[in-house]
Structure 1
Amino acid sequence: MLDTGRAPGANAALGEPARHTLAEDTAWSAAASVSSLVGRLVAGIIIARRLGPEGTGQLAYLVWMADFVGTLSGLGLQNTMTRFLADVQGRGAVELTSSLARWILVRFLGLSVVGAAALAIAGAEAKEGHETLSLLCLYFLAQGIGSLYLAHLAGRQRFDISAKLNLGTSCLLVAGVLAGTWTGGVRGALAGYLAAALLPACLSLTLLRGRACTRAVGPLLRKRVWSYAVNTWLAAIVSALVWSRVEIFFIKRYWGDGDVAMFTVGLSLAGMAAQGPALLCGALMPHFAARAGAKDMDSVARTYAQATRLLALMLFPICLGVAAVTPALLPLLYGASFTPAVPSAMVLVAFSVLGVATVGSSLVYGLERSQFIAVSGLLGAALSVSACFLAIPIWGFWGAAWTRSAVQCTMIGMGFWYIARRLGFAVPFAALGRTLLAALVSAALAYFATAGSPSSWSIAVSAGIMTVCYGVIVRQMGLLSLSDVNALERLFAKMPGFFARASRSALVWIARAS
């Protein structure tokens, strides 16, 4: 994750290569994703407290419809944009990137119109009101087109621009949702989502300017792009059934909006826990693609192993720690009316440790092996849908939490097997196992610290206890090396001086380095 080799990027005008290290790209990517994550979390809390379980569940179902139709109609072009722009730059053909970006965007716009029509039909069948349906279709178009621009920035490795853009859209989202829920209920909240999506959508349309066509996209490249896009599209569809929120459809059908809300707040809490460390992986896929394009596979292997270990060191304690304090944290954030969601939320948050496979997913996509994800995902999709049919009508969102976790464990196991056996990269299983043990012991202490008197104070105390305990265990087990400290230090370089120095001191102590 933190190889020191230079990765090609682009200048502020997105024209010529810029010199960014992977650590710099990773730091900016994390900043971009943190802005988006915090914005969605705050917006979700506002929605839950203003609309209650029923309104929250209704809005969650509408947004899920838009996201799922977007997956079906997008043909994998967003991921394709990122992968091939990075690949083209890695081969030194920087002048081709603008032409390729425009070529992909034109085709994506046509598919988006088809998707909006399909969403309108689906919404009409679900008996949604005319105003709500109109807002939903507009949000669908803006969200999809805007996400393609973010994919374009990732492919050009301009994560600094992504960070600033995501900060702006997050502020718009929070302000829009706050105003919308105050004046218009569910429709107002949906309008807030639309307002936040408009800025990146407008920027995406600027890629259509004729100046971009400085070099034609040749037939060989078009063939590679379409092949990758179709495989990525199939992978995205099955991923939506395994990793996204397909359970919402079944909970809505068999139980209603209130139960949808109970499940979605658990997913939101799990996302909050898992996304923080996983945000550091945003720069990996284009980095792997660029290094593969430059035939530097040794760098790819080193980066994969180190990134997986470091992600686990951060992800495991956060996920298990948040799961341990969920009985106190969830009602504090979303309100007492969401207390019934606590048990299922604990399951979802605990199993979000599976996000450690994010590095492997970036590796597979970066090496243009998306066909494996498409094929293996068919099994996961079949398992997921079958489990939903069997469990959710009986156990509701509690059954959904367990079936989701079980299917995802199966998929992660298949992914590790493919990386180790087919791609020939070493998966650091021993380090992952020891890190998981350290996190489990620390999380157990956090749970008992909040069990007696759940409150904001007990959460803060338990977090401190767990942090110290985890640091001591990691030190005693020798899970952090000096090279890891140096890699993490490059990530913290953009932090204020005091925090950067304090972070390095703590990491050096844990690594037993002087």
Structure 2
Amino acid sequence: MAGTLVRKSLINAIAGVAVTVAGFASSILVARLLGVEGSGVVGFAVWAITMSVMVADLGIPGSLTRFLPELRARSTLDADGLSAALLRPYVLVSACVAGGFFAYAAWLAVAHPAGDAWQIGPGSFRSSPLFWLLCGLACLSQSLASFVNSYLRGVQDFAALARLALLSAGVQIVATGVGVVTFGAGGAIASSVIGSAVVMVAIVRLPRAGSAVSPALRDRVRRYALESWVSHLVTAFLWSRMEVIFLERSFGSHAVGLFTVSLTLSNLATQGPLLLTGALLSHLSEHSGADHAERRQNLYPASVRLLALIVFPLCLGTAGIMPLLLPLLFGPAFDSAITAATILVGSASLVTIATIAYSYLFAMERTRFILGSGLVGAILSIVAGLTVVPAAGLLGAAGSRAVIQTLVSATIVCYAWRALGCVLPAADLARMFLAALLCAVAARMVATVSSGVPGLVLAIVMGALVYAAALRVLKPLPTADLHRMREALRSLPVPLRSAALASLRVIAPA
């Protein structure tokens, strides 16, 4: 079971890596070509688009990922019928939410008919009809693309998901470069529309008809969708870029630009490992019956260890090289973001571990606790935004985000243990964290006495060597996990397989 999951996750990771690379490359282009202020404008747009997509979500994409694997595993005829039944209201609601942006843009165009009102600049983007028009288009295209991606995950067609992601990533990078050079911030926002449109058009190939959804299934889906939707909306205040509202209000686009860059590096460090869990929800849903409870509980510590093995050194190692990495990527104008980025990336090493527990709770339809914990986190985030952020600025935003997210994540992990019997392998995680901490210290020592690309490369190599040596001594991976990893890695293409197996032998000799 675990080997199958890892193989699915590796294929899914290809899709996610493409999306991550496209987003990161686009962020660098925006930062380099538009500077801190321009990055702040684009960062505000990203926040507005993300929140609007969540509002239009209705819990439907998550329901596809949750229920389609279960239906297909039981060989029922409801899978296509469920997809078709959910598609119609989803398209309607997405169009209505996007229509709100379009209506606001039309009102601004009438209220401010002057030509310069269409310019998207640090001091004028809020009153620009073009800014809100592009946000509406991005909301619509990303919402429909989300449905396509969730359907493909639900039917576990990760190969098609990867193909679409690779195509979308290539288009977005090219569109960002051309758009920013030609149209500035407006071109950067438009590139997100173009990139997601590549995936969105695949919606015409999804099922339009199927067997009628049974009343019992309809009730389960409706409850799950509603609870997960509200949970996502509430937790959006905790996990999205909500801090940009308070930073923009108190300190303007410059602070938003610095915070956006900090989050970009934090997301880069965690996104790769998180992609390995992309297939986990659908895999758990496929085995959601009571007769699979023991197998799910056995899978939990293995999944957590696999994620920690990668995310701990990436997060803490990235924090160690931050003084060299951030200026090299985004330019010296963003040096003020180094401390904030270090805080966010470092704390993400612990927060990311809770994603496994989240997947288990969603698979077992324990959405109410997620809603409750998210509500508490959202209230704390708002309080921090009204108090800490205005007083401490960028560092206040980064610090409060790190503390609140860590507390909520710890609560989720504890609930998964008490309610579902998902025991956290604390001793193994502690050894991995120690190894990653030694990696970060070694990398920071090199980064302190060196500079430029050679210094960065040397710091990364030193950190990797120290991490491998620490793992070899501390031995945090059980024999069963190593066996599963070797079996899964043998399904990779030959060049990747050889490198991956060689790396595994270094940290854990057979």
Residue 136 and residue 374 in structure 1: after superposition, are their counterparts in 2 closer, same or farther (change >3 A)? same
Amino acid at match of 1:289: S
2:89 corresponds in structure 1 to 107
1:474 corresponds in structure 2 to 471
Number of corresponding residues: 492
2:363 corresponds in structure 1 to 366
2:321 corresponds in structure 1 to 325
Residue 35 of structure 1 deviates from its aligned partner by 0.6
1:286 corresponds in structure 2 to 282
Structure 1, 456-465 or 498-507: larger mean CA deviation: 498-507
Checking the alignment, whether the CA contact within 8 Å between 2:280 and 2:359 is kept in structure 1 is yes
Structure 1, 500-509 or 182-191: larger mean CA deviation: 500-509
Residue 485 of structure 1 deviates from its aligned partner by 2.5
Q: Write the mapping of 1:186-265 to structure 2, written as runs, cut at 5 A.
A: 186-207=185-206, 209=208, 212-213=209-210, 215-265=211-261
| SS of residue matched to 1:44 | helix
Within the candidate set 47, 61, 75, 2:30 is matched to 47
Checking the alignment, whether the CA contact within 8 Å between 2:9 and 2:278 is kept in structure 1 is yes
Within the candidate set 435, 438, 443, 1:438 is matched to 435
1:163 corresponds in structure 2 to 162
2:116 corresponds in structure 1 to none
Residue 466 and residue 502 in structure 1: after superposition, are their counterparts in 2 closer, same or farther (change >3 A)? same
CA-to-aligned-CA distance 1:140-179 (integer Å, 9 cap, x gap): 1011011110000011111111111100000010011111
Checking the alignment, whether the CA contact within 8 Å between 1:482 and 1:508 is kept in structure 2 is no
Cα distance in structure 2, aligned partners of 1:367 and 1:135? 38
Cα distance in structure 2, aligned partners of 1:182 and 1:425? 50
Residue 417 of structure 1 deviates from its aligned partner by 1.2
Residue 491 of structure 1 deviates from its aligned partner by 4.1
Checking the alignment, whether the CA contact within 8 Å between 1:284 and 1:362 is kept in structure 2 is yes
Cα distance in structure 2, aligned partners of 1:428 and 1:122? 51
TM-score with structure 2 setting the length: 0.93
1:10 corresponds in structure 2 to none
Residue 294 of structure 1 deviates from its aligned partner by 7.4
Structure 1, 422-431 or 382-391: larger mean CA deviation: 422-431
Cα distance in structure 1, aligned partners of 2:160 and 2:93? 26
Cα distance in structure 2, aligned partners of 1:207 and 1:97? 12
Cα distance in structure 1, aligned partners of 2:219 and 2:496? 48
| SS of residue matched to 2:216 | helix
Structure 1, 323-332 or 432-441: larger mean CA deviation: 432-441
Checking the alignment, whether the CA contact within 8 Å between 2:446 and 2:458 is kept in structure 1 is yes
Checking the alignment, whether the CA contact within 8 Å between 1:69 and 1:118 is kept in structure 2 is no
Cα distance in structure 2, aligned partners of 1:416 and 1:120? 41
| SS of residue matched to 1:422 | helix
| SS of residue matched to 2:476 | coil
Cα distance in structure 2, aligned partners of 1:441 and 1:113? 50
Structure 1, 504-513 or 412-421: larger mean CA deviation: 504-513
Structure 1, 175-184 or 461-470: larger mean CA deviation: 461-470
1:133 corresponds in structure 2 to 132
1:378 corresponds in structure 2 to 375
| SS of residue matched to 2:321 | helix
Checking the alignment, whether the CA contact within 8 Å between 2:31 and 2:330 is kept in structure 1 is yes
Task: Please report the RMSD computed on the Cα atoms of aligned residues, expressed in angstroms.
Answer: 1.7
TM-score with structure 1 setting the length: 0.92
Residue 204 and residue 411 in structure 1: after superposition, are their counterparts in 2 closer, same or farther (change >3 A)? same
1:70 corresponds in structure 2 to 53
CA-to-aligned-CA distance 1:100-127 (integer Å, 9 cap, x gap): 1111111111211221233346666884
Cα distance in structure 2, aligned partners of 1:186 and 1:498? 40
Residue 490 of structure 1 deviates from its aligned partner by 4.0
Cα distance in structure 2, aligned partners of 1:274 and 1:294? 32
Residue 110 and residue 499 in structure 1: after superposition, are their counterparts in 2 closer, same or farther (change >3 A)? closer
Checking the alignment, whether the CA contact within 8 Å between 1:3 and 1:302 is kept in structure 2 is no
Residue 440 and residue 121 in structure 1: after superposition, are their counterparts in 2 closer, same or farther (change >3 A)? farther
Residue 496 of structure 1 deviates from its aligned partner by 4.1
Structure 1, 379-388 or 112-121: larger mean CA deviation: 112-121
Checking the alignment, whether the CA contact within 8 Å between 2:238 and 2:378 is kept in structure 1 is yes
Structure 1, 490-499 or 179-188: larger mean CA deviation: 490-499
Cα distance in structure 2, aligned partners of 1:208 and 1:131? 35
Q: Name stretches of at least 5 consecutive residues in structure 1 with no aligned partner.
A: 5-20
Q: Are 1:456 and 2:478 an aligned pair?
A: no
Cα distance in structure 1, aligned partners of 2:447 and 2:405? 29
Structure 1, 354-363 or 473-482: larger mean CA deviation: 473-482
2:388 corresponds in structure 1 to 391
Q: Are 1:412 and 2:394 an aligned pair?
A: no
